[in-house]
Amino acid sequence: MTSETEEKAMPFIARAKSPHLQTGRAGIIVILCMWIIIYFWGVTQLVDGLMDWLAYGSTQYVARVAVGVVTTVASSYEAGQVEFGSGKYYAYCALGGVLSCGITHTAIVPLDLVKCRIQVNPEKYTGIATGFRTTIAEEGARALVKGWAPTLLGYSAQGLGKFGFYEIFKNVYADMLGEENAYLYRTSLYLAASASAEFFADILLAPMEATKVRIQTSPGAPPTLRGCAPMIYKAEGLTGFYKGLPPLWMRQIPYTMMKFACFEKTVEALYQYVVPKPRAECSKAEQLVVTFVAGYIAGVFCAIVSHPADTVVSKLNQDSQATAGGILKKLGFAGVWKGLVPRIIMIGTLTALQWFIYDSVKVALNLPRPPPPEMPASLKAKLAAQQ
């Protein structure tokens, strides 16, 4: 396991520059596929077993629950030390993304459902409380978890791309810039790496996002993934799953750029101005608290910059005949901001929990966690020579 002292000695971004960065791409793909298959199989066994156990109370379903738990946990098990920048490191980062995004988005499905309904039908769902009351009165409490399956699958896949590719792009771009420029232009580096990662992550998310919104907001739509996805494909083909991709990029790329850049800079500022001792002297628990606070601050800004596009995505996926331009014209400036308050609450909490889970996975798997960036010695020497 990399010690705090060893981490402190690592150069910024390109710490422990590794030949694995240029090789082993096929290995990364194989490892990612293996982990995702095992993880989802374990989750499926766990959910199916719990549902059957609750329904029938049979002991055979207790065994299925146990198998699901063991398999899901086993898929996260890490044995041995992981080298920074290696294929194994990136694979575990991707796994952390799967867990952080899949778990958090699925946990807030009820709030997400109400938020989407406020966006697509603000006359009926005038606020958070009204949205919950109306939904429960008309469809029962069970309706609040509509769309949980596409949410779990879609955002787990998105988390894989968001966090896994971010780590890769950040180090690749840092290598291209060189150590000094990577430090001087680190905010631009964070923005570029996160935008690149989210571009691919949204391609993974789009089909399940379209299915989720259709389930949650379209009257008469099948209430399950296995019912709604085939219906969309039969009626609209693959276009039905990807027509919302451009506005999804408009929503998610600015969101993710803010999420990563604001988080990285907030962590840096917290350790510099707020935390009374250096990061190396903080316990793992104290470091995770800083992670959570920085994540929540980043989440508030994320919600604001991405909300108009989020409204357009919800409207597009609700109405198969709608276009982004037509929706913007109909809603106007004020209309695209409907549902902002619940989304700030949702995204602030969501982002904080995602960073907390992601960093906790790194701690649990003994992954290197470089400290906030410091000016390279060579750059300090150049600045000193100019004085």
pLDDT per residue as tens digits for the range 91-147: 999 999 999 999 999 988 898 888 788 877 888 888 888 889 999 999 898 889 888
Burial 184-221 (b: 16+ CB within 10 A, else e): eebeebbbbbbbbbbbbbbbbbbbbbbbbbbbbbbeeb
Q: Does domain 81-371 have CATH number 1.50.40.10?
A: yes
- What CA–CA distance (Å, rounded) separates 128 from 111? 8
Question: What pLDDT, in 10s, does the model give residues 242-268?
Answer: 988 988 898 889 889 989 999 999 999
- What CA–CA distance (Å, rounded) separates 342 from 116? 10
Q: Which amino acid is at 281?
A: E
Query: Band of the pLDDT at 78, cuts 50, 70, 90?
Result: very low
Q: Strands, E, within 133-266: which ranges?
A: none
Domain boundaries, the chain: 81-371
- What CA–CA distance (Å, rounded) separates 273 from 279? 12
- What CA–CA distance (Å, rounded) separates 150 from 205? 9
Structure tokens at 267: 């962590």
Comparing 292 with 117, the larger pLDDT belongs to: 292
Question: What pLDDT, in 10s, does the model give residues 323-363?
Answer: 777 777 777 777 778 778 877 887 888 899 999 999 999 98
Note the pTM of the prediction, 2 decimals.
Answer: 0.72
Q: Which residues contact 80 (CB under 8 A, 6 or more apart)?
A: none
Run of H or E including 285: helix 284-318
- What CA–CA distance (Å, rounded) separates 95 from 134? 38
- What CA–CA distance (Å, rounded) separates 352 from 298? 8
